[in-house]
Amino acid sequence: MKYSLILLFVAFISNAQIKKENLNLMPWPQNITMQEGVFALTKNFKVNITGDPNSRIYVGTTNFLRRLDGRTGLFLTQGFVTQLNEFPEAELQINCSKKGKIDLYEDESYHLDIQPNKITINATSDIGALHALETLLQLLQNDSNSYFFPTTSITDLPRFTWRGLMIDVARHFQPVDVIKRNLDAMAAVKMNVFHWHLTDDQGWRIQIKKHPRLTALASDGSFYTQEEIKSIVKYADERGILVVPEIDVPGHASAILTAYPELGSKIIPLTNGNSEKNREAIALSTYGIERNAGIFNPTLDPTNPKTYQLLSEIFDEVCPLFPGAYFHIGGDENEGKDWDSNPRIQEFKKKNKLVTNHDLQTHFTMKLVPMLKKHGKQLMGWEEIMTKDMSKTAIIHSWKGPNEGVPVGQSVANAAKNGYKTVLSNGYYIDLMQSVNDHYLNDPIPKGSNLTADEKSRILGGEATMWTELVTPLTLDSRIWPRTAAIAERLWSNQEVVDLNSMHKRMKTVSFRLEELGITHIRNKHVILRNISNNQETRALEDFSNVCEPLKIYKRNAGGTEYQMYSPLTLFADACTADASDALDFDSAVNKYLENKNTENQKRVTDFFRKWIEMDTNLIALSANAPLVKPLLPLSKSLSDLSQQLLLVIEMKQVTNTTSIKDLLEKCNSKEHADVELAVYNSLKKLM
Amino acid sequence: MKYSLILLFVAFISNAQIKKENLNLMPWPQNITMQEGVFALTKNFKVNITGDPNSRIYVGTTNFLRRLDGRTGLFLTQGFVTQLNEFPEAELQINCSKKGKIDLYEDESYHLDIQPNKITINATSDIGALHALETLLQLLQNDSNSYFFPTTSITDLPRFTWRGLMIDVARHFQPVDVIKRNLDAMAAVKMNVFHWHLTDDQGWRIQIKKHPRLTALASDGSFYTQEEIKSIVKYADERGILVVPEIDVPGHASAILTAYPELGSKIIPLTNGNSEKNREAIALSTYGIERNAGIFNPTLDPTNPKTYQLLSEIFDEVCPLFPGAYFHIGGDENEGKDWDSNPRIQEFKKKNKLVTNHDLQTHFTMKLVPMLKKHGKQLMGWEEIMTKDMSKTAIIHSWKGPNEGVPVGQSVANAAKNGYKTVLSNGYYIDLMQSVNDHYLNDPIPKGSNLTADEKSRILGGEATMWTELVTPLTLDSRIWPRTAAIAERLWSNQEVVDLNSMHKRMKTVSFRLEELGITHIRNKHVILRNISNNQETRALEDFSNVCEPLKIYKRNAGGTEYQMYSPLTLFADACTADASDALDFDSAVNKYLENKNTENQKRVTDFFRKWIEMDTNLIALSANAPLVKPLLPLSKSLSDLSQQLLLVIEMKQVTNTTSIKDLLEKCNSKEHADVELAVYNSLKKLM
């Protein structure tokens, strides 16, 4: 009896055989083959580790077991994995030939083989094995009763060695737990570089023991202690992630100059006093923590030896906290205005034959190279550091593109051609709230570029950049995820993996699974909507948030002064995200309808209109007791008005006034309300 | 024109005059009077501080501004408050006559006066002022367009000086950010003691630099560094909260003995060896971190001088981390089994004339008194430490009650009568998942007790205890909140404030507002349900979770071995909470219907039945692709089956088989499924 039941069970789950295209793997592996059959998961499932791995594999395997158990509720009997060869008969065997080193160019490959009774992971190092465990979690399938893995064989390795995420913790501080959960998410999509933007005009976020003024005067009390930094670096290491710190100099210096104004470049001409005094009067009192967003003048004085002494002492403390070989010194957006107006600095340039401010900045940056080299670090900087005299050992971080008047791909290609190693961030600016499609199709190797193999090899990879002018711990995750998972795929998977439909389908599941790691992008949206609703029913707000997107590409907070760094980011725009979900569905409904105007296709479209008309009514009702709903009403009304007209046209075949309907459409294109735009505008336009 | 608009505006909002009983204040203040009119909030609202406060008022005021701004979206212009008398003309004036000290018996009173153009907070110390700011936030009102405070005058102070929350971080570790957000929530309801249960059988959670073995061997890597402890103590201080650490000895010692087995009491008789060897053979190998829940034997050896040396060294490190005057040494649940079976310990008892194990434990505890006194600390312990020889300076933490065979209130009354200061936790065990009503009506001063005024004054207050056998960081908040807000009211407000309806109404708003502080009780429920649903529609699961409650009073995980400390707590029972919301609403519908069976009242009841019938259908559909839904189906079916029968009886006036309907009802009383019970059972019974 027992036996026949087992047979039945096996027969049942093997019927559930799934196809390769149904797997929700992201990043997509380099090589995958599937056989018939499955590996059935039971509570006795165990893991055994052999070989010579770094101990991070124990943390990784224990976390793997807890995630698997939390997802399935199987009550797995294996608790903490703490040593080699604990269960030689275990169904999952992990073998690593050597200890992984957290560095670029490390072998991250793995081979994962799932047979009906046994799963094997073979990896050169534990880092590859960690990747394999993430793949295995993504492979988990279920039917109505049970969980299983499809019998599959995967051989995988990354296309690029630098698969980064930058988080700006200066503009809005992000506490330790926020960083840690994002490291978990990075590891889940096989990213391996966390670039930590630790200082900027709006704050100095790292404790410097020799210079407590930096955090005392320029952090508003929000900074990481060195012990916290170490704990994050350790956490990253356990997940195979390299941490690259950034101390942004010589520009973006409002915070550092708040603590050390005497190192600033600005001269204030005194109205009373002789001319000699004028020239020496440093504007001690004019520096303060910046509260706005934008590009600001405060800049370190590159002619003052004390500037280098301070930076050297800072580096002496910061470098040892980060075992990795790379150190980012920023170097961006220094417009040199305070240099231009400072006669002493002009004199220095003349004396040292530095023609432009770029030359002066290179003079400055080159002085940092040996300070970092002393600690075994290579200097990295934003692309502005690349001038003819810059050391070829520097890594160029390419960020400029069409927004800055530079053609797509030009900046990364230039760096590679000039002999520099380079990392691409242009096209991966996730703070700009663009569609994931834009980022996904942005390849680090510029399309149509005539780079040699050697030049291409200097393009290390890419990095998503999360600038936080408008982002708090409440909203950070929804700005990074799930779009960054698609960027991770671009950087890991084969260049040919570019199917947008497949990406969207897989990203949906990845997005859902990110909650397992503590990522708050879904849950916190509801928190914001509950607040806006004033504890009333949030359905109408949810519906509206699913067709609205925050204003894109610097349109929100234009000029940088509408929001201060302490302004509320608990508004409707903060609940909205790029790629509004109903907008995507509506667009596909419209496309189908335009192909074939049958009843079914028509209904899909008109159902949306009915939903939006009702939504507007509900929002109006809601607003009676919720002042934060009021700003949404004009845009909601526009959508409702147009929906009513389009219903008449489509269902009643009524000929309406074309001008008036076009006016209504254009009202739906407004960017004047609540810092959001209607993401269905283009689809609506198609219906005209 | 401008003037008449302002007049209109004032006229409008003064119409919104609200009544005292509509205020959602919790804890309810001692004295409150309301006048006509309101204080209208604008973006120019500013705060000014005068007097001689501790600097924590700056942190508190800045946080107040940010919360107010996040809630209203007004873009308040005032950023960080950092000094006295910054805006002498500000509309909110806070005056504190002295620096508050984080200690018991501190003056926490405040006077809050809201006039149409001015708000004044007068407090003896900044601690009272912080309470006033919380009251002010709770007073915020709105109409459709604007936010305002009602003109109100409040004089307030706490009834008890000890208003505590204990969190057990040993059984399930709770990271720093989890503790911090709960400190925020405590402050929001004016609680002032955080009791930190740092060690137990399941883990040692505090770094001891001289004894790294403790965390290396007995924490699974999850513990607080001393710097983290300091950062939490500072965070608590900024919120007016005293932190009382607990190192639980001599029982609950599995973790400490995992690190130092030679200090254990257990003897293992050796099968080979002479009798002398038998007596000395300490069971070094038998201690390990406990993975189950329950009461265990591992106990420190009170006859071994090295035990005291270790504890003394531990206290020397722990005490200075906590500036408060109180230190909890646990002392509970030591059954002394390993003492009984250890001949050397028996000999010691005889020699020292210690008759019972209680005497021996007192001997042990009394040795700790001077170790703590050296650091200026008073010893506190669970009520088992109270024996005839225990120092009267000790504070007795009363926890036993009917569950332990002790009448309600007896244990706290005994302590007070015996001359001890005492804190009540019996009746505040929030881990038992009982209704808030039970906790709310549980007064620290036992009802009908014949205590003298002096004895009563020794009852310092009470403390909610959050034991974490079945609680992870994902679910902790939903186990503590919102019920603990009602306990906070019991400990702060007048004894006469006992109206359950009022409490429930106010608690609803408090619960909603806790999200502002980062409390995750609402959002994380949806996270768990999404996981259970396997990323399908969660509505049916939500509906079911609103009529189910986790099994109460040790019924879940009976025996303590079904769940290990690493078992999944991502199940349906973990999404459910005490006081299931629909169950409360259904009960009120049933009561109304039984009073008057008119159509409207009938519909309110039958609507629930229809909802549950549909819910069951949807859960069955959901379960086809979600194995975690399957265990819920039997109970959902029972509810649906009974609903169908009751619909027939109520609507069709059909006479059904009474036996069969009673059987269906009893099936709804099952506690066999998914670790939950149907919270509507008693209301359904009323309909029979």
Q: Which one, of A390, A286, A293, lies nearest residue A338 by Cα?
A: A286
- Decide if A522 and B522 are in contact by the 8 Å CB cutoff: no
What mean pLDDT do residues A529-558 have? 96
Chain centre to alpha carbon of residue B23: 24
Instruction: Determine the structural domain holding residue B530 and report its residue range.
Output: 525-686
- Cα–Cα dist B388/B210, whole Å: 35
DSSP string across A478-505: HHHTTHHHHHHHHHHS-TT---HHHHHH
What is the model's pLDDT at position B3?
A: 43
Q: What is the CATH number of the domain that holds A87?
A: 3.30.379.10
| Tokens at B429, concatenated | 């065990």
Taking the CA of residue A446 and the nearest CA in chain B, the distance in Å comes to: 37
pLDDT at A486: 98
pLDDT of residue A251: 96
What is the pLDDT averaged over residues A312-321?
A: 98
State pLDDT tens for residues A8-59: 444 444 445 689 999 999 999 999 999 999 999 999 999 999 999 999 999 9
Calculate how close chain B gets to A393, using CA atoms only, in Å: 38
A-chain CB neighbours of B144 within 8 Å are: 623-627, 630
Is A520 within the bounds of a domain? no
Residues A437 and A298 in one domain: yes
Residue B509 lies in a domain: no
Best residue in B9, B229, B509, B527 for a mutation probing chain A (most A CBs within 10 Å):
B527
Please identify every residue of A annotated as catalytic.
333
CB contact under 8 A, A73 and B523: no
Average pLDDT, chain B: 94
Q: How close is the nearest chain A Cα to the Cα of B380, in Å?
A: 32
**Interhelix angle for A500-513 vs A483-492, to 10°?**
120
Residue A17's pLDDT is: 65
Please indicate whether, in this complex, the C-beta atoms of B570 and A535 are within 8 angstroms of each other: no
Residues A141 and A203 in one domain: no
pLDDT of residue B440: 98
Whether residue B167 contacts residue B477, with contact meaning beta carbons closer than 8 Å, is answered with: no
Answer yes or no: do B627 and A522 touch at CB < 8 A: no
B508: in domain: no
A266 and A343, same domain (yes or no): yes
The catalytic residue positions of B are 333
Nearest to A68 by CA among A139, A166, A170: A139
Q: Where does the pLDDT of residue A423 fall: very low under 50, low under 70, confident under 90, or very high at 90 and above?
A: very high
Of the candidates B147, B227, B623, the beta carbon closest to that of A227 is on B227
Among chain A residues, CA nearest to B625: A144
B574 CA to chain A: closest CA distance, Å? Answer: 11
Q: Write down the residue that tokens 């002493």 correspond to.
A: A344
Asked whether the beta carbons of B314 and B247 are under 8 A apart, the reply is yes
Residue A245 to residue A232: CA distance in whole angstroms:
12
Whole-angstrom distance, CA of residue B224 vs CA of residue B215: 9
Of A73, A531, A627, the CB nearest to B568: A73
Q: Which of B67, B80, B231 is nearest to A258 (CA)?
A: B80
Residue at B513 is within a domain: no
Tell me if A75 and B568 make a contact (CB, 8 A cut-off).
yes
Residue type, B605: V
Q: What is the model's pLDDT at position A506?
A: 98
The verdict on whether omega for the bond into residue A250 sits within 30 degrees of 0, i.e. cis, is yes
Q: Please indicate whether, in this complex, the C-beta atoms of A515 and B527 are within 8 angstroms of each other.
A: yes
Domain count for chain B: 3
Compute the distance between CA of residue A54 and CA of residue A48 in angstroms, rounded to an integer: 15
- Output the pLDDT for position A119: 98
The tokens for B536 are 């399908």
The end-to-end CA distance of chain A, in Å, is 66
Residues B539 and B682 in one domain: yes
Residues B89 and B212 in one domain: no
| Model confidence at B2: pLDDT above 70 | no
Tell me: do A27 and A172 sit in the same domain: no
A-to-B residue pairs, Cβ atoms closer than 8 angstroms: 133
Distance from the Cα of B30 to chain A's closest Cα (Å) equals 27
Q: What is the DSSP letter of A206?
A: B
- pLDDT bucket at A273, cuts 50 / 70 / 90: low
Given an 8 Å threshold on Cβ–Cβ distance, is B530 in contact with A515?
A: yes
Average pLDDT score over residue span A216-239: 98
Yes or no, beta carbons of A531 and B523 under 8 Å apart: no
* Gap between the Cα atoms of B65 and A186, Å rounded: 34
Could you tell me if B677 and B570 lie in one domain? Answer: yes
For residues A147 and A190, state if they share a domain: no
Question: Which residue from B70, B144, B231 is facing A570, i.e. has the nearest CB?
Answer: B70
Structure tokens at A574: 């903060």
* pLDDT tens sequence across B329-385: 999 999 899 999 999 999 999 999 999 999 999 999 999 999 999 999 999 999 999
Distance from CA of A72 to the nearest CA of B (A): 7
Token pair listed for B601: 């009242």
> CATH number, domain at A223?
3.20.20.80
- Least CB–CB distance from B142: residue in A73, A175, A534: A534
Share of chain A above pLDDT 90, in %: 90
Check CB contact under 8 Å for B220 and A75: no
Give pLDDT tens digits for B514-523: 999 999 999 9
Q: Specify whether the CB–CB gap between B390 and B363 falls below 8 A.
A: no
Tell me the mean pLDDT in the region A275-283: 50
Q: Which residues of B touch A482 (CB under 8 A)?
A: none
Nearest in space to B518 (alpha carbons), one of B549, B566, B492, B480? B480
The confidence score (pLDDT) of residue B17 equals: 65
Which among B580, B525, B503, B556 has a CA at the least distance from the CA of B674? Answer: B556
Mean pLDDT taken over chain A: 94
Query: What pLDDT digit, counting tens, does each position of B267-282 carry?
Result: 876 555 555 554 455 4
Matching residue, tokens 């408060």: B324
Please answer yes or no on whether B72 and A568 come within 8 Å at the CB atom.
yes
Q: Are residues B79 and B30 in the same domain?
A: yes
Structure confidence at residue B6 as a pLDDT band (50, 70, 90): very low
Is the predicted ipTM greater than 0.85, yes or no? Answer: yes
Please report whether residue A40 resides in a domain.
yes
Please check whether residue B519 lies inside any domain of the structure.
no
Q: At which of A491, A509, A539 does a domain end? A: A491
Query: How crowded is residue A384: how many other Cβ atoms within 10 Å of its Cβ?
Result: 20
Single residue among B156, B175, B193 that ends a domain in this structure: B156
Q: Which positions ≥6 away from A484 have C-beta within 8 Å?
A: A165, A185, A186, A189, A191, A430, A464
Asked whether residue B118 falls in the same domain as residue B22, the answer is yes
Distance from the B509 Cα atom to the nearest Cα atom in chain A, whole angstroms? 8
- Does position B141 have pLDDT exceeding 90, yes or no? yes
Average pLDDT over residues B648-670: 88
Give the residue from chain B lying closest to A523, CA to CA. B523
A318, containing H or E segment: helix A305-318
What distances in angstroms separate CA B502 from CA A14, A472, B32, B582, one per listed residue? 58, 36, 16, 18
Distance CA A552, CA A431 (A): 9
Nearest to A65 by CA among B495, A57, B110: A57
Tell me which chain B residues have a C-beta less than 8 angstroms from the C-beta of A70: 531, 568-570
What is chain B's percent helix, strand, coil content, to nearest 5?
Answer: 45, 15, 40
Tokens of residue A72, six digits: 């399935």
What is the helix (H) or strand (E) element at residue B188, kind and residue range?
Answer: helix B176-188
Number of H helices, E strands in chain B: 26, 19
Chain A residue whose CA is closest to B231: A225
Q: Quickly count: other Cβ atoms within 10 Å of residue A306's Cβ.
A: 12
Q: Which are the contacts of A367, defined by CB distance < 8 A and separation ≥ 6?
A: A308
Residue B40 has phi, psi (to 5 degrees) of: -85, 130
- Given B175, B535, B628, which is nearest A73 (Cβ)? B628
Residues A545 and A646 in one domain: yes
Per-residue pLDDT at A662 exceeds 90: yes
Residue keyed to tokens 């994902």:
B474
Q: Find the CB nearest B627 among A70, A146, A563.
A: A146
Which of the listed residues A156, A178, A198 is the one where a domain comes to its end? Answer: A156
Residue A464 covered by a domain: yes
**Mutation target vs B (from A75, A146, A513; most B CBs, 10 A cutoff):** A75
Residue B76 has a pLDDT of 98
CB B664 within 8 A of CB B645: yes
Q: How far is CA B161 from the centre of its chain?
A: 17
Which pLDDT belongs to residue B106?
97
Partners of residue A568 in chain B, C-beta under 8 Å: 66, 69-70, 72-75
* Helices (runs of H) and strands (runs of E) counted in chain A: 26, 19
Instruction: Answer yes or no: do A80 and B520 touch at CB < 8 A.
Output: no
A278-287, A525-534, B511-520: lowest mean pLDDT where? A278-287
Is residue B295 scored above 50 in pLDDT? yes
Which chain A residue has its CA at the smallest distance from B290's CA? A79
Tell if the CB–CB gap between B144 and A515 is shorter than 8 Å: no
Q: What percent of chain B has pLDDT over 70?
A: 95
Same domain, A123 and A173: no
What size, in residues, is chain A? 688
- The reported pLDDT for the residue numbered B1 is 38
Q: Tell whether A627 is covered by a domain.
A: yes
Q: Do A568 and B75 touch (CB under 8 A)?
A: yes
Judging contacts by C-beta atoms under 8 Å, the chain A residues touching residue B67 are: none
